[in-house]
Structure 1
Amino acid sequence: MSLIIPFCIYVSTGFFGTMTIIEKKFQRRSTSMSNFTIRDDFYLDDQPFKIISGAIHYFRVVPAYWRDRLEKLWAMGANTVETYVPWNMHEPQPKQYNFSGMLDLRTFIQTAQEVGLYVILRLSPYICAEWEFGGLPWWLQNIPEMKIRANNQPYLATVNRYYAHLFPRIADLQIDQDGPVILCQVENEFGSFGNDQNYLRKLAALMRKHGVTVPLVTADGPWGDMLTNGTVPELALPTINCGSKIKENFAVLRSFNGTKKKPLMVMEFWDGWFDAWGDGQHHTTPAEIAAAELNDTLAEGSINIYMFHGGTNFGFHNGSVNNDRLQPITTSYDYDAPLTEWGEETPKYTAFRDVISHYVDIPTVSLSADIQKKSYGTLRSDGQTDLWTALPMIGTHHECPYPRSMENFDQGYGYTYYETRAGASREIDVRLVGAADRAQMFVNRTLQATQYDRQLGQREKLTLPNPGENRLGVLVENMGRVDYSAPLYSQRKGIRDGVMVNGAFYSQWDIWALPMDHLERLHFSQAAVGAEQPVFYHFTFNVVEAGDTFIDLTGWGKGFVAINGFNLGRYWDIGPQKRLYLPAPLLHLGQNELIVFESEGRRNATITLTDQPI
């Protein structure tokens, strides 16, 4: 997804058999092997097939809720589910692969098939999706001569290696092998990024080499040169991404296809929008307007609703948009979708189901899960520790002549702390050169100034109070790598170039890499911590019956929350998100441990776990 072409969708379809706009029949597919082809229309077992798909990203939903969300998609009348496949999650470090837990793509696809849905896989190494670095692994930036999303040997070699591990896990789930996968997407909105069609051909060839046998598609905006740039018609069916003016945009696609009749499809039907930290409000699209556009789409073609269920940007995996200013995406990826972030049906769900009922019969579905919300009350911290005490527990220490970016320390996410000796008492002028994304400056480990986004690089006047030695520290947070357009080429985090003090680059730095992935090493005490210092707060609470709950952080400033070792994601008092969603499957029966990292030094010792979302 992008700011211009924001939706990126994976369509998954189920066991539904032949459904046409004429017959208005809803049937389950037989268990015999099937075929799915693209001619003048989509054909399933040689019968015209209208794809009615919705996007659910398995990596944004806890696995225990996959079936519930898929059942609700089916109950709305859809026959397919679409999902992206995030390379950066499946290969977090070079040649280290993860396909378990929330990343068990095979189980997600099989669950969709059991529910009755077909599947569209968007297998591009780049996904956008408001996801960290658009799904690209951060470590690509450490490879010499790397040029992402291009006909570039180092890039295509790493993609080939990744595909060699990905495809054997899912190739037999394609429809011609009695699986539910009917389509795969080659790249994502490439037409708004480049026009290198040799790259697209090589990427498609890699997919075929590693076992993709179903038809391929591309997805681009219907504006300007995007379809021309991003489409290779002889290899993949062109589809479009848009959220309004469907009739007009289908006319553009029809004209682009020329005299050859091809099926029309909106691969990303934008039914809502994402939120960024600092937005004045949660973005919404009225249900009646979105439903009218949905009807216009189904009247002429097929659809993938982006999003059907947005889910959550857990951990530090939210992406950022940079269109003259940095806009990190909130932890919630609710998207004003038919299902809320926590999986409840909205008026948009009802409106969409009503529209879809004019094209297919709506099934009667008995949901397999009974998901409850619980309030666990107000919790008081039973221990804390400041960042400086925690550095040797959770940080990796480096001594360097000059500051370096976090990627140089084999670190992808989180924070990096830089500290140096600054000399005796005086006024100093400090300038961070090449820093990203948010920096807090400390003198003798007391907060003095904060710079963010376009403020970074401005001169900051600080006072060194001690007649003897003083220490200058800088804590830099990676707020989420940009996921779209030209900034993709410059996404190193931390301090890349240096720190100038009174006009000169300062040397001899102690640097701690802080990915925040080993919080179990922390030790907490009841001793008070200093004001205006980053602090970890510890909470425990008992659970007799697990239910979804929402963490109210009123009075806190900025940071992240971890529950039982799982990073729920960021909070920030600038909104618009006010509470963090905590799914019941992340809770333990009995005692639970919750840790809040508060980077702004707010001395707040309580949080509330409520059954009321915002």
Structure 2
Amino acid sequence: MKLLNNIILVSTMVLVLLGKAEETKAQKHTFALGDSTFLLDNKPFQIISGEIHYPRVPREAWRQRMQMAKAMGLNTIGTYVFWNLHEPEKNKFDFSGNNDIAEFVRIAKEEGLWVILRPSPYVCAEWEFGGYPYWLQNEKGLVVRSKESQYLKEYETYIKAVGKQLAPLQINHGGNILMVQVENEYGSYSNDKEYLAINKKMFIDAGFDGLLYTCDPEKDLSDGHLPGLLPAINGQDDPAIVKSKIKALNAGKGPFFIAEWYPAWFDWWVTPHHTVPADKYTAKLDAVLKAGMSINMYMFHGGSTRDFMNGANDKDTTPYEPQISSYDYDAPLDEAGNATDKFMQFRAVIQRNLAAGQTLPEVPAAKPSMVIPEIQFQAAVRLADLLSAPTKHEKPLTFEDLNQAYGFVWYRSTLQGGKTGVLKIKALRDYAIIMVNGKRVGTLDRRNAQDSLSLTLPAGKVTLDILVENLGRVNFGPNLLKNKKGITEYVSFAGTEIQNWDMFKFPFTEVQSLKFKSAAQADGTPVLKKGNFNLNQVADTYLDMRKWGKGMVWVNGKNLGRYWEIGPQQTLYLPAEWLKRGKNEIVVLELNKPEQKTLSSLAKPILDSIKNEEK
């Protein structure tokens, strides 16, 4: 027994020593700034990075997307961290499932990729509220991107929670995070160096004690830079200009990092799909790589903006423009994770610029796609039949007043009929379906600056219903601080303000618990439809929404995003990872064409088909 105990003791000591050796081995890397290049283990290192956002890709597909990145020649992945995902409600944090960013980073390491981390509370990213959680607007006096005390308090709580997840994964702690970005294009917003210094201190206090940097577009580079941090440039790929601009802010030195290099652009509703041929970029990429500069492609792979997470453009000189669900971006890797012609051309450029003897992995075969059998909907329920437990108030309340982040709010009031007049919703945010005595009478759309509708009301007491959809909070520009949703001021009819409202919340955080009926009355009002379909095999597919009007789709409880017949997106990407052999469940929320009864699919997406809008 004594001999056995000694053997166990020796074995344990060997394992401990091996563990420490592995730990030492893992921590051997260093990453620093040279005068003209980055230094990895004291040797020049050129970052060839591409952006992938973990929430825009099913967790089950993260590894496949990273393998594709390696096959194109990338050695690094860039990603934002999204505050509104990780703290959806105040002091309630979520780093699980598709929000498990630490696992995303660890998988990148397993696949031989470095990571550039961008955990600024503000991300832009064509993402709802630029990444800010909606509830910040309920904190009295809070001003985002400022030194206002309440904002800094919430910011600090958030960044420390992120630090607990990710600071241990920095390269100086044995991980694969090379650099961490402080704020995000702040120079496009303001130029307060004291505020930037507070950001830096918060990051360090949260455990981000490695290499920190800032990034800004060329024209805003000086305003967004904090002396002492590496300045990186966005949207400029002329090597001479990049060197000149960065040297001017960095004591005549590099390294030279293009933090956002755009191979194409994003889309919003009723605007043509943005595409740019690869040959417009290959020479520029070649020039940057030959100059020894580092680069991060925004995006390498866009994926999809699911749930209610799309943002919107809104400037004082342009209309409100909510973005579509597809974040294909005409990127090198398409929405489903397959190599495009742009991928192959960029890969050839990177291959030419590799050191002698280096080769790239083979490009994996394209993922299979399929057409699934036509879906018949067996059950339905009118949204009007789901109204219960209203919040009552003299005036209509916003989503924020109701402590509701996303989705829809149904507003109901009663007024005296027997007259004709104009119904006006002051400051509608964003899309409204108007119903009188249960019948649909029209829609109003913020995109088209519509806030009024002429109505003739029947005699007697009239029930007025208004279903309002949050189409996505602004993610960039001067109106970032004007992001409340719903009916944000008042409703009037024939010049008189309507009062005494019932409000019903429809956040649609899930739909599987809803009670459906075998049939629902088709009265033209919004409806939810449920169906099942059986599969013998699984593969990617694209739901063909061209016969439908406007709404959202859930498959097996997963929200696939919004569809809208106005285009340009006419399909919804349904990833194989969210399908299963046998029975699958689908739920569709249809706002404008509740008579639809079947849904088909395609093996390829339709991302560039615009329909004329009905005025």
| TM-score, with structure 1 as normaliser | 0.91
Which of 551, 558, 561 aligns to 1:559? It is 551
Amino acid at match of 2:217: G
Per-residue CA shift, 1:299-320, capped at 9, x if unaligned?
Answer: 3311001111000001110111
1:419 partnered with 2:412: yes
1:356 partnered with 2:350: yes
Residue 161 (structure 1) aligns with? 157
Structure 2 unmatched runs, 5+: 1-23, 607-615
8 Å CA contact 1:222, 1:249 repeated in 2: no
Residue 26 (structure 1) aligns with? none
Per-residue CA shift, 1:144-199, capped at 9, x if unaligned?
Answer: 11000111111111011112211111111111121100100001111010111111
Which of 254, 258, 262 aligns to 1:262? It is 254
Q: Hey, what's the Cα distance between the residues in 1 that align with 2:569 and 2:492?
A: 36
1:459 partnered with 2:455: no
Residue 115 (structure 2) aligns with? 119
Alignment of 1:126-145 (within 5 A): 126-145=122-141
1:429 partnered with 2:422: yes
Q: Hey, what's the Cα distance between the residues in 2 that align with 1:351 and 1:115?
A: 23
Residue 490 (structure 1) aligns with? 482
SS at match of 2:374: strand
Amino acid at match of 1:295: D
1:290 partnered with 2:285: no
8 Å CA contact 1:481, 1:491 repeated in 2: yes
Shift in Å, 1:475:
1.0
- Identity between Structure 1 and Structure 2 (%): 37
Q: Hey, what's the Cα distance between the residues in 1 that align with 2:332 and 2:362?
A: 18
1:448 partnered with 2:448: no
Q: Hey, what's the Cα distance between the residues in 2 that align with 1:369 and 1:411?
A: 43
Alignment of 1:34-73 (within 5 A): 34-40=29-35, 41-73=37-69
SS at match of 1:168: helix
Shift in Å, 1:367:
7.5
Which of 22, 28, 33 aligns to 2:28? It is 33
Residue 102 (structure 1) aligns with? 98
Seen in structure 2, the aligned counterparts of structure 1 residues 458 and 58 have a Cα distance that, compared at 3 Å, is: closer
8 Å CA contact 1:75, 1:363 repeated in 2: no
Residue 149 (structure 1) aligns with? 145
Per-residue CA shift, 1:342-397, capped at 9, x if unaligned?
Answer: 011001111111111122255453688984222212111111111101223xxx62
Residue 227 (structure 1) aligns with? 221
Which of 586, 589, 592 aligns to 1:597? It is 589
SS at match of 1:202: helix
Seen in structure 2, the aligned counterparts of structure 1 residues 577 and 370 have a Cα distance that, compared at 3 Å, is: closer
Residue 336 (structure 2) aligns with? 342
Q: Hey, what's the Cα distance between the residues in 2 that align with 1:384 and 1:404?
A: 29
Q: Hey, what's the Cα distance between the residues in 1 that align with 2:306 and 2:451?
A: 32
Per-residue CA shift, 1:561-605, capped at 9, x if unaligned?
Answer: 011112110000011111000111112332111011111134111
Which of 504, 521, 525 aligns to 1:529? It is 521
Q: Hey, what's the Cα distance between the residues in 2 that align with 1:502 and 1:249?
A: 59
Shift in Å, 1:66:
0.4
Per-residue CA shift, 1:47-80, capped at 9, x if unaligned?
Answer: 1111110111011000111011101111111111
8 Å CA contact 2:68, 2:364 repeated in 1: no
Q: Hey, what's the Cα distance between the residues in 2 that align with 1:411 and 1:481?
A: 13
8 Å CA contact 1:68, 1:368 repeated in 2: no
Seen in structure 2, the aligned counterparts of structure 1 residues 249 and 447 have a Cα distance that, compared at 3 Å, is: farther
RMSD over aligned Cα atoms = 1.8
Structure 1 unmatched runs, 5+: 1-28
Per-residue CA shift, 1:214-272, capped at 9, x if unaligned?
Answer: 1111110102xx112100121x2111110x65246415424533652111111000001
8 Å CA contact 2:338, 2:366 repeated in 1: no
Residue 378 (structure 1) aligns with? 374
Shift in Å, 1:276:
0.5
Residue 6 (structure 2) aligns with? none
Shift in Å, 1:422:
1.7
Q: Hey, what's the Cα distance between the residues in 2 that align with 1:558 and 1:139?
A: 27
8 Å CA contact 1:68, 1:369 repeated in 2: no
Q: Hey, what's the Cα distance between the residues in 2 that align with 1:432 and 1:455?
A: 14
SS at match of 2:50: strand
Q: Hey, what's the Cα distance between the residues in 2 that align with 1:173 and 1:254?
A: 28
Seen in structure 2, the aligned counterparts of structure 1 residues 338 and 263 have a Cα distance that, compared at 3 Å, is: same
SS at match of 1:354: helix
| TM-score, with structure 2 as normaliser | 0.91
Alignment of 1:178-327 (within 5 A): 178-223=174-219, 226-234=220-228, 236-242=229-235, 246-247=238-239, 249-254=241-246, 256-257=248-249, 259-279=251-271, 281-300=272-291, 301-323=293-315, 324-327=318-321
Seen in structure 2, the aligned counterparts of structure 1 residues 317 and 537 have a Cα distance that, compared at 3 Å, is: same
1:403 partnered with 2:396: yes
Q: Hey, what's the Cα distance between the residues in 1 that align with 2:250 and 2:360?
A: 41
SS at match of 2:422: strand
Shift in Å, 1:468:
2.5
Which of 470, 477, 483 aligns to 1:478? It is 470
Seen in structure 2, the aligned counterparts of structure 1 residues 448 and 338 have a Cα distance that, compared at 3 Å, is: same
Q: Hey, what's the Cα distance between the residues in 1 that align with 2:565 and 2:363?
A: 36
8 Å CA contact 2:534, 2:581 repeated in 1: yes
Seen in structure 2, the aligned counterparts of structure 1 residues 456 and 509 have a Cα distance that, compared at 3 Å, is: farther
Q: Which moved more, 1:475-484 or 1:456-465?
A: 456-465
Which of 324, 331, 342 aligns to 1:330? It is 324
Q: Hey, what's the Cα distance between the residues in 2 that align with 1:591 and 1:201?
A: 55
Q: Hey, what's the Cα distance between the residues in 2 that align with 1:508 and 1:607?
A: 40
Which of 577, 581, 593 aligns to 1:585? It is 577
SS at match of 2:551: strand
Seen in structure 2, the aligned counterparts of structure 1 residues 31 and 251 have a Cα distance that, compared at 3 Å, is: closer
Q: Hey, what's the Cα distance between the residues in 2 that align with 1:31 and 1:411?
A: 45
Shift in Å, 1:455:
4.7
SS at match of 1:407: coil
SS at match of 1:170: helix
8 Å CA contact 2:127, 2:475 repeated in 1: yes
8 Å CA contact 1:266, 1:297 repeated in 2: no
Residue 22 (structure 1) aligns with? none
8 Å CA contact 1:531, 1:601 repeated in 2: no
Give the total of aligned pairs.
Answer: 577
Q: Which moved more, 1:598-607 or 1:85-94?
A: 598-607
Shift in Å, 1:30:
7.0
Q: Hey, what's the Cα distance between the residues in 2 that align with 1:487 and 1:454?
A: 15
8 Å CA contact 2:184, 2:214 repeated in 1: yes
Q: Hey, what's the Cα distance between the residues in 2 that align with 1:571 and 1:524?
A: 22
Q: Hey, what's the Cα distance between the residues in 1 that align with 2:556 and 2:242?
A: 48
8 Å CA contact 2:549, 2:590 repeated in 1: yes
